[in-house]
Amino acid sequence: MKNKILKILSIFVLILSVSACSKQNTNDNATSNDVSRETKNEFSIDELNISYVTAPLNVPSIVEKNKAFFQKHLPGVKINYKEITSGADQTQALASGDVDILFGLGGSSAVLAKSNGQDLKVINMYSRAPEAFSIFSKDNSIKNQDDLRGKKIGGPVGTNLHQLLLSYLWLNGMTDKDVEFSNMSIPDAGLALESGNLDVALLGGVAAYKAKEAGLNEVVNGKGLIDAIICVASSDKFINNHPDVINALKEAHDETLGFMEEEPEKTREIVKKELDLDDKAYDYMYPMYDFSNEIKEEDKKGFERTRDFMLDNGMIENKFNIDDLF
C-alpha cells in the first residue's frame, strides 16, 4: 500500500513538473515573440537597400559592412547591399526605388541627377580626395593638354575622373571633342591602357596606385582641379517618410568613423583584406582621403563649383539652387 501511494505521488509530481516546464516554455516563447515583434516594429521599414561601392578606396563602406554597424543601429531591419559602381546607375536605382540610400555617390552624379529634376537630397558627406584621381599614360612624352589632342582616353563618364579630364582640358581651351573619349569602368580603363587599346586612362584609388608603382606616366591628378566630393544621399520622399531610419543611419555612419579613428590597425586589416592591398599601398592612399561626414560650407561651395563647371561644359542645362541639394 505504501509503495502504491509513493508511486502515485511520484506520478503526480512528474505531471506538475511537466506542466510547469510547458508553461515556462510557453511564457518564454511568448516573451521571445513579443521581443521579436517589438524589434521588428521599432522602425518604419522592414527592409533597407543601400548601395555598396568599395572603389576607389571607400573605407567607411568596407568597415561598416564588416562590422555590421547599419544592422546594429537598425535591429530587425533586413539590410540589402547593392553593388552599383556607376554614379548614373546609382541615381537611376534611387529614382526607381531599387535603392533607398546611396552610400558613396559622386558629387557630379548628384548634381547631374538634381539638374534633371530628380528627387535627391544629400544626407551626409562621405569623402573628399582630389589627389586620389589621376590621368595616366604609358607614353612619357604626354605631359600637357596639347599632348592629349586626338588621343584615345577611357574612364567612367559623369564621375570625378571625368570631371578631372574636362577640367584639365578646359584650362587649355579644349573640350572632350578634342580627344577620343570612351566610357568604361576604372578597371577596364586600366586594362585597356595596358593592352594598348587606350593612350590614356582615368584611374583612381587602387588602380591609380598600381599604375604609379608600375612606372606609368601620371599626367596630372585632381589637386586644384576638382573637389572630388562624394556624399551620402537619398530621396526627399524617403527622408520625410522615414526620419527614424535616417537618424539611425547617421548614428551608424558616426560609429563607423569612430571605429576607423580609434582602431586604425583593425581598419587597415579589414580594408587590406577586402581590396587585396599590402601595407605600402594602403599607407600611400589612405592619407589622401578626408572621410569626415559633416556637411560644411566648403562642401556646398564644392557642389556649386561642380554645378557651374558642368553647366559651362554642357553636361547639364538647369542651373538649380545648390541649397536644394540639402
Chain-centroid distance, C-alpha 241: 22
Contact call for residues 157 and 183 (beta carbons, < 8 A): yes
Find the mean pLDDT for residues 38-46: 73
N-to-C CA span, the chain = 88
In a domain, 11, yes or no: no
User: Dmax over Cα atoms in the chain, in whole Å?
Assistant: 114
Check pLDDT > 90 for residue 47: yes
Q: Same domain for 185 and 295? A: no
Q: Same domain for 215 and 261? A: no
In a domain, 115, yes or no: yes
Q: Same domain for 203 and 213? A: yes
Q: Same domain for 154 and 90? A: no
**Residue 220: strand pairing partners:** 135
Q: Same domain for 144 and 86? A: no
Q: Same domain for 121 and 156? A: no
Closest by Cα among 162, 110, 89 to 322? 110
Chain-centroid distance, C-alpha 104: 3
Which residues, at least 6 apart from 48, have a Cβ–Cβ distance to it below 8 Å? 70, 74, 77, 78, 79, 80, 100, 101, 245
Check pLDDT > 90 for residue 145: yes
Among residues 205, 221, 237, the one where a domain terminates is: 221
CA atoms within 13 A on the CB side of 147: 15
pLDDT (0 to 100) of residue 23: 40
Q: Has this prediction a pTM greater than 0.85?
A: no
Q: Same domain for 268 and 203? A: no
CA distance 108 to 112: 6
Q: Same domain for 255 and 290? A: yes
Q: Same domain for 123 and 247? A: yes
In a domain, 279, yes or no: yes
CA distance 14 to 8: 10
pLDDT tens column, 162-194: 889 999 999 999 999 999 999 998 999 999 999
Find the mean pLDDT for residues 7-27: 41
In a domain, 21, yes or no: no
Least confident of 120-129, 226-235, 270-279, 308-317: 308-317
Mean pLDDT of the chain: 88
Among residues 188, 221, 254, the one where a domain terminates is: 221
Q: Same domain for 153 and 292? A: no
pLDDT tens column, 197-210: 999 999 998 899 99
The total domain count for the chain is 2
Range of the domain at 101: 47-129+228-304
In a domain, 271, yes or no: yes
pLDDT tens column, 102-115: 999 999 999 999 99
Among residues 221, 250, 281, the one where a domain terminates is: 221
CA distance 275 to 66: 13
Please report which confidence band the pLDDT of residue 40 belongs to, taking 50, 70 and 90 as the band edges.
low
Q: Same domain for 113 and 144? A: no
pLDDT (0 to 100) of residue 312: 85
Return the axis-axis angle of helices 87-96 and 107-115, rounded to nearest 10°: 50
Q: Same domain for 54 and 97? A: yes
In a domain, 80, yes or no: yes
In a domain, 14, yes or no: no
- φ and ψ of 257, to 5 deg: -65, -35
pLDDT tens column, 222-270: 999 999 999 999 999 999 999 999 999 999 999 999 999 999 999 999 9
In a domain, 32, yes or no: no
Q: Specify the CATH number for the domain of residue 150.
A: 3.40.190.10
